[in-house]
Chains A and B, each alone.
Chain A
Amino acid sequence: MLEAQFEDASLFKKVIDSIKDSVKLCNFTCSQSDGIVVQAIDDSRVLLIALKIDNDCFQDFRCDKNLVLGLDLESLGKILKQGNNDDRLTLLAEDSPDNLTINFEDKNKDRISEFNLKLMDIDSDSLSIEDMDNDCSITMPSNDFAKIVRDMKILSESLQIIVTKDSIKFGAEGSIGAGKVILKPQTNIDKPEESVKINLNSPVNLTFGAKYLNDIVKATTLSNTVTIKLTDKAPALFEYSLPSGYLRFYLAPKFDDEE
């Protein structure tokens, strides 16, 4: 039996809102050791989502038996909207569940809302994602990154990221014109989340699809910072940290035809 209780529903709501536009159906793997783990890839197989909500994220977490819950994220999102952000959220499932029970408990009022969501059998393959050596790693405010992505998407369908030792250059060129944003590393001692850090092994120049980046930055609400790990001719990793766990996006880059 699964019984996972969030102190606030807001975290789970944000997580689902962050990924439901990228993937529609996905399996939630629940285990006592790892908490809830999700790996899903979008239909075009360009963006991969890796979610890990550790036990510590929950007020109470109990999973007697490893479970795989096939969920329709769109339906789950609709149900989650029924609860307030500060409601206590409990996910309940039997050992061989047909439904996922979602309870909202208002802390201030004696009100409990209970919803049942039908589970689905989703046939999906898990991809083995090994830890890669990165050419560079960038940590920057998630809001800034979201703004850059949204601004550049207006100009072009592609966003170029060029990282050198002393700057990060985001550039886009389209039919109406071109634009670029250059960030330089900085450290804010008072507000460390606003610092821009670059760990560079070798300069990189990669281009990504703007629409996928636009989906990624929907997770901005989950974390104040985003960590971007880039490797030449390899998928980029965009990671948003959870209180305990992470939400990672692996995005395949764009290449020139001759490459």
Chain B
Amino acid sequence: MSEHQANFEIISKHVFLDKMPMTYKCLSRQLDITNTSSRQLLQEYYDQFKPERPELSSRFVITGKLGQDSLVKVALDTEVETIKQSFDSIYSCNIYSLNCNDQLSFGNITAINKTLKSDYRVENCQRWGIIQCPTGSGETIHVTSQDTLAVEEVKKETPQPTSSRPSERSSVSEPIKPSKSVVAKESNTTLSSTKKSNNAEKKKQQNTISFANSKRSKTEEPKSVEAENETKSQKTPVEPLKKKAKVETEEEKTKRLQRQEELAKMFEDDEDFTFDESAPGTQKTEAAKPESIDVEMEDAPASPILIEEEVEPAKSDLDDTPPAEVEAPPAEPTNESQEDTESYYDEDGYLVIKKKQAPPPVKKPAAPKKYTVEVPVKDKNPGKGVKKQSNLMSFFGKKK
């Protein structure tokens, strides 16, 4: 029997024989694996056995943004899609628990977490994704942001057992649990991180910010900005949870705005830079048509792969042209530039456009001359130069 099957057996026994709910935390502690792995395991189990066992029920934790607020909702498997649609944007959607009874309240499900063993050694905390916070007893903790939070250094001067009193909160705590009021709402319940539980044990758990930890679980998901924000906020461990949640929201907002701006800029660049839209395989085809590429590339001044050479001679050529030629049709300079440029791809794959320095007599094509309009010369007379208007005062004197 493989390890995978063994784990499935454990879950099956726990859920169907013992009739107990199985949360990812519970599984993580039981199998001594990371929260991410336990969620994966639960998800695989659910996907595999749900068709066979219709009584198998699951809860999902969905985090997302609704308006200006970031919300966490717990939903039954049957309601996940509905809940997702109620969000403006979804940060994460992870499985939370499995149980064999649909009617089991969320409070009963979370109660299983209370039975977990509390061997909060550094390596365990690191594996389980538990955040350690300093206490007033002078502990120094440095937390780094990795896929799983790594506690680099913990110096305990007075290794005391955790206390339920706020002033002596434990430096090591479990992830947050929902309050009773939230539990009562069961599925469509919004978990507010600011709510305080009356239970002393829950207070201790609230002191942690592992609720945010639940969002950054799945390894398949790319590192989201939100996860980074969570990690950053975790670096300020002394602050209470309420403040942290607020900071997270603001940071998320600013980060998201920045990201949106960057994306918008990228799209703008894409519009101008039509070459990007083509598939890489078509580059050869476009290289065979250097003229069309030239026009497009010249329109995209910010294009990073455009390398122009010998620009200065072209400018001086323009300066030499008489002002009358400026009034020529706009297509004229484009054709001229197309004729005088040569493009190729260098070793690094950059498009290089070389402008040939055409000899002065060649730079005036014959055809556009038809459209050039000479600047009207004032007072031009046949066979004469420019005439100057004289003044009558030089001929007639004033009467006295």
- Tell me which of B7-15, B70-78, B370-378 binds A: B370-378
Q: In the assembled complex, which residues on chain A have CB atoms less than 8 Å from the CB atom of B386?
A: 256-257
Does A25 count as interface, using CB distance less than 8 angstroms? no
Q: In the assembled complex, which residues on chain A have CB atoms less than 8 Å from the CB atom of B381?
A: 156, 158, 160, 171-173, 207
Looking across the interface, which residue of chain B has its beta carbon closest to that of A172?
A: B381
On whether the beta carbons of A175 and B377 are closer than 8 Å, the reply is yes
B358-400 near A? 1/0 per residue, CB < 8 Å: 0000000000000001101111111011111111111111110
Q: In the assembled complex, which residues on chain B have CB atoms less than 8 Å from the CB atom of A46?
A: 389-392
Q: In the assembled complex, which residues on chain B have CB atoms less than 8 Å from the CB atom of A174?
A: 376, 380
Q: How many A-B residue pairs have CB under 8 A?
A: 90
Q: In the assembled complex, which residues on chain B have CB atoms less than 8 Å from the CB atom of A254?
A: 379, 387-390
On whether the beta carbons of B387 and A128 are closer than 8 Å, the reply is no
Q: In the assembled complex, which residues on chain B have CB atoms less than 8 Å from the CB atom of A129?
A: 396
Q: How far is the CA of A160 from the CA of B394 in the complex (A)?
A: 21
Q: In the assembled complex, which residues on chain A have CB atoms less than 8 Å from the CB atom of B385?
A: 256-258
Partner of A156, one of B380, B396, B398: B380
CB-contacts of B132-184 with A (<8 A): none
Partner of A207, one of B374, B376, B384, B396: B384
Does A235 count as interface, using CB distance less than 8 angstroms? yes
Q: How far is the CA of A74 from the CA of B376 in the complex (A)?
A: 33
On whether the beta carbons of B382 and A45 are closer than 8 Å, the reply is no
**Distance from A37 Cβ to chain B, minimum over Cβ atoms (Å):** 13
Q: In the assembled complex, which residues on chain B have CB atoms less than 8 Å from the CB atom of A255?
A: 387-388, 390
Q: How far is the CA of A100 from the CA of B390 in the complex (A)?
A: 36
Partner of A127, one of B376, B384, B398: B398
Looking across the interface, which residue of chain B has its beta carbon closest to that of A176?
A: B376
On whether the beta carbons of B374 and A175 are closer than 8 Å, the reply is yes
Partner of B387, one of A47, A127, A178, A256: A256
Partner of B392, one of A160, A172, A252: A252
Looking across the interface, which residue of chain B has its beta carbon closest to that of A233?
A: B390
Q: How far is the CA of A250 from the CA of B393 in the complex (A)?
A: 11
How many chain-A residues does the 8 Å CB contact rule pick out?
A: 33
A242-259 near B? 1/0 per residue, CB < 8 Å: 000000001011111110
Q: A126-B398, A160-B381, A171-B382 in contact; A257/B388 too (CB < 8 A)?
A: yes
Q: Could you say which of B378, B389, B391 has the most chain A C-beta atoms within 10 Å of its C-beta?
A: B389
CB-contacts of B307-322 with A (<8 A): none
Q: In the assembled complex, which residues on chain A have CB atoms less than 8 Å from the CB atom of B389?
A: 44, 46, 209, 252, 254
On whether the beta carbons of B382 and A128 are closer than 8 Å, the reply is no
Q: How far is the CA of A178 from the CA of B380 in the complex (A)?
A: 10
Partner of B391, one of A128, A157, A252: A252
Q: In the assembled complex, which residues on chain A have CB atoms less than 8 Å from the CB atom of B373?
A: 175
Q: Could you say which of B373, B388, B390, B391 has the most chain A C-beta atoms within 10 Å of its C-beta?
A: B390
B323-367 near A? 1/0 per residue, CB < 8 Å: 000000000000000000000000000000000000000000000
Q: How far is the CA of A53 from the CA of B125 in the complex (A)?
A: 118
**Distance from B391 Cβ to chain A, minimum over Cβ atoms (Å):** 5
Q: How far is the CA of A254 from the CA of B396 in the complex (A)?
A: 16
A186-220 near B? 1/0 per residue, CB < 8 Å: 00000000000000000000010100000000000
Looking across the interface, which residue of chain B has its beta carbon closest to that of A130?
A: B396
On whether the beta carbons of A252 and B390 are closer than 8 Å, the reply is yes
CB-contacts of B167-212 with A (<8 A): none
Q: A173-B382, A175-B374 in contact; A235/B388 too (CB < 8 A)?
A: no
Q: In the assembled complex, which residues on chain B have CB atoms less than 8 Å from the CB atom of A48?
A: 392, 396
Q: How far is the CA of A127 from the CA of B382 in the complex (A)?
A: 34
On whether the beta carbons of A157 and B378 are closer than 8 Å, the reply is yes
CB-contacts of A149-178 with B (<8 A): 156-158, 160, 171-175, 178
Q: In the assembled complex, which residues on chain B have CB atoms less than 8 Å from the CB atom of A128?
A: 396-399
Does A230 count as interface, using CB distance less than 8 angstroms? no
Q: How far is the CA of A258 from the CA of B394 in the complex (A)?
A: 17
**Distance from B130 Cβ to chain A, minimum over Cβ atoms (Å):** 88
On whether the beta carbons of A125 and B398 are closer than 8 Å, the reply is yes
**Distance from A161 Cβ to chain B, minimum over Cβ atoms (Å):** 11
Q: In the assembled complex, which residues on chain A have CB atoms less than 8 Å from the CB atom of B392?
A: 41, 45-48, 127, 235, 250, 252
Looking across the interface, which residue of chain B has its beta carbon closest to that of A156?
A: B380
Q: A178-B382, A256-B384 in contact; A125/B399 too (CB < 8 A)?
A: yes
Pull 21 A–B residue pairs with CB atoms less than 8 Å apart, ordered by A. A47-B392, A125-B399, A127-B392, A127-B399, A128-B397, A129-B396, A156-B379, A160-B382, A172-B381, A174-B380, A175-B376, A175-B377, A178-B382, A207-B387, A250-B392, A252-B392, A252-B395, A256-B386, A257-B386, A257-B387, A257-B388
> 7 tightest CB-CB pairs across the interface, nearest first?
A254-B387, A127-B396, A175-B376, A126-B399, A252-B390, A128-B399, A173-B382
Enumerate chain B interface residues (CB-CB to A < 8 A).
373-374, 376-382, 384-399
Apart from A46-B389, A175-B377, what 12 extra A-B contacts exist at CB < 8 Å? A45-B391, A156-B380, A158-B380, A171-B381, A173-B382, A174-B376, A175-B374, A235-B395, A252-B390, A252-B394, A255-B387, A257-B386
